[in-house]
């Protein structure tokens, strides 16, 4: 490590209380700092004059201590390079193995060669140059107060731009004052769930196919989840009226995750009518609303009734999950309780990222990026569907009109063996059962949920070869 700057003496935190005089105490403290790794090899120390002034001792005392530690091999000194911690091999303790929490089916410890996890985007295509340009413009134009304490609702610049974009692109009816910026979809879902629990709600309907950690967020808020059947028309929202004590439902209307079907118009109307009649809410997860290929975009359910639908959107699929930027459009009566809860210490998204996204969207760069990503994802989807049709015509594929994944139907009883076979071929792939609510009474259905967002273009042909080789009956 080449540290070209010198550490300030006051930052060394040297204890000079050891017996034997100041020079001996200084040498002992420096040895301990090097031995414990607090001063890494190559670290440049302050000059003897500077350290003496910071410690309030004589310069000769520091110079003598440095000279002796150089002689002992603890430090090194070269003309023009100053005094540094000597490069040495020191014993280190074995690092503790990191602890992780699984958010899906277990993966091969060796790691897959290709990642076909559904719902993941191509982060390698993040528009770095355009984002950097937007960040520079946003930073230059930002008012000084923007760098103070963050507003619970988020920066007004981003909420204003989002209101225009969501109305234009997703058919959302919204005023900027009803938008709340969140540090990801999960935070938004957690905030709404906790507010609903505080208002006395006890149960939330969730689709029988979905993500387990979304159900976990709801249950950690003190609510219970009730599975809602899903078929080829989407969630059976007509069943909501028969669920006792349920006044909220989490749905993915535009593109059901993971089955890939849009919610049928009759069922969209049924969901909204149920929310109006019961005084409840539909929590609309519009996780990939912009990614449509073969059909007209399905507008947000929120447009049918802004007073009973909580709209939740995110930049995770359109840009990158690492930005931790998502947003909620709330009914009027939920705005104040959500903001009051968020102000109690909830994590806020970074101001600069919010201002950058606002500039990125208002400049047109967001729309241009989305057009390019739609073309890229559609090409991959077309390659996947064409390869299956040509080389595995006995395999049916569905859910292909939108999003970042498809459903590959399998013969009954073969899902688990197929997942294992895929791992042997270096693929991280998930079966449909891993997304099934364990409390749901669903008919057995064997399928793979194959994501195509992550593999880079140059390796996609190899991905398809590995997938096809693993499919049953395809050798």
Do 331 and 356 fall into the same domain?
yes
Which of the residue ranges 275-289, 390-404, 406-420, 460-474 would you say has the lowest mean pLDDT? Answer: 460-474
Place of tokens 């994944």: 405
Residue 345 has pLDDT above 90, yes or no: no
Residue 318 has pLDDT above 50, yes or no: yes
Task: Specify the pLDDT at position 42.
Answer: 86
In a domain, 353, yes or no: yes
Do 434 and 343 fall into the same domain?
no
The closest alpha carbon to 407, from 416, 420, 417, 395, belongs to 395
Give me the CATH number covering residue 190.
3.40.640.10
User: How does residue 356 score in pLDDT terms, banded at 50, 70 and 90?
Assistant: very high
- Report the alpha-carbon distance of residue 73 to residue 340 in Å, rounded: 59
Give the Cβ contact number of residue 148 at 10 Å: 9
Kindly report, residue by residue over 164-210, the tens digit of the pLDDT. Answer: 999 999 999 999 999 999 999 999 999 999 999 999 888 999 999 99
Tell me the CA distances in angstroms from 120 to 150, 319, 451, one per residue in order. Answer: 29, 11, 7
Structure tokens belonging to residue 326: 């998502």
As a whole-number percent, the residues of the chain with pLDDT over 90 amount to 57
Residue 342 has pLDDT above 50, yes or no: yes
Task: Specify the pLDDT at position 8.
Answer: 59
Over 251-307, what HEC string results? ECCCCCCCCCCCCCHHHHHHHHHHHHHHCCEEEEECCCCCCECCCCCCCCHHHHCCC
Segments forming the whole domain that contains residue 428: 114-125+368-470
In a domain, 4, yes or no: no
How big is the chain, counted in residues?
475
Do 53 and 72 fall into the same domain?
yes
Phi and psi at residue 368, to the nearest 5°:
-65, -45
Better pLDDT: 36 or 112 = 36
Give me the CATH number covering residue 80.
1.10.10.10
Do 254 and 398 fall into the same domain?
no
Average pLDDT, integer, range 148-174: 93
In a domain, 383, yes or no: yes
Do 354 and 383 fall into the same domain?
no
Do 372 and 346 fall into the same domain?
no
Domain stop point among 321, 346, 364: 364
Do 245 and 279 fall into the same domain?
yes
Quote the Cα angle for 280-282-286, to 5°.
165
In a domain, 475, yes or no: no
- How far, rounded to the nearest angstrom, does the alpha carbon of residue 416 sit from its chain's CA centroid? 28
Kindly report, residue by residue over 56-115, the tens digit of the pLDDT. Answer: 889 998 888 888 888 888 888 887 778 888 886 544 433 443 443 444 444 444 567 888
Task: Specify the pLDDT at position 73.
Answer: 84
Kindly report, residue by residue over 244-254, the tens digit of the pLDDT. Answer: 889 999 999 99
Better pLDDT: 102 or 303 = 303
Give the Cβ contact number of residue 74 at 10 Å: 19
Task: Specify the pLDDT at position 262.
Answer: 92
Helices 351-362 and 128-141: angle between axes, nearest 10 degrees: 110
In a domain, 3, yes or no: no
Domain stop point among 364, 379, 396: 364
Do 294 and 436 fall into the same domain?
no
Is 85 in contact with 75 (CB distance < 8 Å)?
Answer: yes
> Cα Rg for the chain, rounded, in angstroms?
29
- Report the alpha-carbon distance of residue 27 to residue 33 in Å, rounded: 10
Structure tokens belonging to residue 100: 């992780």
Q: Which helix (H) or strand (E) holds 25?
A: helix 22-35
Most confident by average pLDDT, 32-46, 167-181, 414-428, 445-459 = 167-181
Task: Specify the pLDDT at position 7.
Answer: 57
| SS3 call for 168 | helix
In a domain, 95, yes or no: no
Give me the CATH number covering residue 392.
3.90.1150.10
Average pLDDT, integer, range 16-37: 85
Which residues have a Cβ under 8 Å from the Cβ of 48 and sit 6 or more positions away? 59, 62, 63, 66, 83
DSSP secondary structure, 209-244, as one string: BS-HHHHHHHHHTT-EEEEE-EETTEE-GGGGGGST
Structure tokens belonging to residue 78: 């070269």
Do 168 and 242 fall into the same domain?
yes
Residue 285 has pLDDT above 90, yes or no: yes
Residue 137 has pLDDT above 90, yes or no: yes
Terminal CA-CA length for the chain:
51
In a domain, 175, yes or no: yes
User: How does residue 12 score in pLDDT terms, banded at 50, 70 and 90?
Assistant: confident
Do 211 and 354 fall into the same domain?
yes
Average pLDDT, integer, range 401-406: 90
Do 29 and 72 fall into the same domain?
yes
The closest alpha carbon to 302, from 261, 330, 266, belongs to 330
Place of tokens 């447009």: 303
The closest alpha carbon to 171, from 283, 81, 289, 78, belongs to 289
**Residue 284: beta bridge partners?**
251, 311
In a domain, 18, yes or no: yes
Task: Specify the pLDDT at position 297.
Answer: 72
User: How does residue 2 score in pLDDT terms, banded at 50, 70 and 90?
Assistant: very low
User: How does residue 370 score in pLDDT terms, banded at 50, 70 and 90?
Assistant: very high
Domain count, the chain: 3
| SS3 call for 405 | strand
Kindly report, residue by residue over 409-431, the tens digit of the pLDDT. Answer: 999 998 999 998 888 888 899 99
- Report the alpha-carbon distance of residue 25 to residue 27 in Å, rounded: 5
Better pLDDT: 350 or 6 = 350
Tell me the CA distances in angstroms from 209 to 249, 406, 443, one per residue in order. Answer: 13, 14, 12
Do 336 and 236 fall into the same domain?
yes
């Amino acid at each position: 490590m080449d540290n070209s700057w010198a550490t300030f003496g006051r930052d060394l935190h040297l204890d000079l209380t050891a017996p034997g005089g100041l020079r001996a105490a200084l040498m002992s403290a420096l040895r301990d700092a090097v031995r414990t790794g607090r001063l890494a090899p190559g670290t440049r120390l302050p000059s003897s004059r500077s350290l003496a002034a910071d410690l309030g001792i004589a310069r000769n005392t520091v110079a003598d201590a440095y000279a002796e530690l150089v002689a002992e091999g603890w430090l090194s000194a070269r003309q023009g390079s100053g005094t540094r911690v000597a490069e040495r091999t020191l014993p280190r303790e074995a690092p503790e193995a990191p602890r992780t929490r699984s958010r899906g089916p277990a993966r091969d410890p060796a790691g897959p060669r290709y990642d076909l996890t559904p719902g993941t985007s191509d982060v390698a295509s993040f528009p770095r140059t355009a984002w950097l340009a937007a960040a520079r413009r946003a930073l230059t134009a930002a008012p000084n107060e923007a760098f103070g304490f963050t507003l619970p609702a988020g920066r007004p610049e981003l909420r204003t731009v989002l209101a225009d974009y969501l109305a234009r692109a997703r058919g959302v009816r919204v005023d900027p004052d009803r938008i709340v910026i969140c540090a990801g979809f999960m935070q938004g879902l957690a905030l709404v769930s906790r507010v609903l629990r505080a208002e006395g709600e006890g149960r939330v309907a969730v689709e029988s196919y979905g993500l387990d950690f979304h159900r976990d967020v709801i249950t950690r808020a003190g609510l219970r989840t009730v599975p809602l059947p899903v078929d080829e028309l989407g969630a059976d929202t007509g069943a909501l009226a028969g669920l006792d004590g349920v006044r909220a439902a989490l749905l993915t209307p535009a593109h059901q995750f993971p089955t890939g079907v849009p919610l049928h118009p009759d069922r969209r109307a049924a969901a909204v009518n149920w929310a109006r009649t019961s005084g409840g809410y539909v929590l609309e997860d519009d996780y990939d609303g912009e990614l449509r290929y073969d059909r007209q975009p399905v507008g947000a359910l929120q447009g049918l009734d802004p007073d009973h639908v909580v709209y939740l959107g995110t930049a995770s699929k359109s840009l990158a999950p690492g930005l931790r930027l998502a947003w909620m459009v709330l009914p009027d009566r939920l705005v104040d309780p959500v903001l009051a809860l968020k102000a109690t210490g909830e994590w806020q998204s970074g101001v600069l990222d919010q201002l950058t996204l606002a500039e990125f969207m208002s400049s047109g760069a967001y729309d241009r990026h989305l057009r390019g990503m739609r073309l890229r994802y559609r090409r991959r989807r077309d390659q996947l569907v064409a390869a299956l049709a040509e080389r595995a015509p006995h395999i049916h594929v569905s859910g292909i009109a939108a999003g970042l994944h498809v459903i590959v139907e399998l013969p009954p009883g073969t899902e688990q063996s197929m997942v294992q076979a895929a791992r042997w071929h270096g693929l991280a792939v998930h079966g449909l059962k891993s997304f099934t609510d364990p409390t749901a009474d669903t008919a057995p259905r064997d399928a793979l949920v194959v994501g195509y967002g992550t593999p880079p273009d140059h390796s996609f042909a190899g991905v398809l070869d590995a997938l096809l080789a693993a499919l049953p009956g395809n050798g």
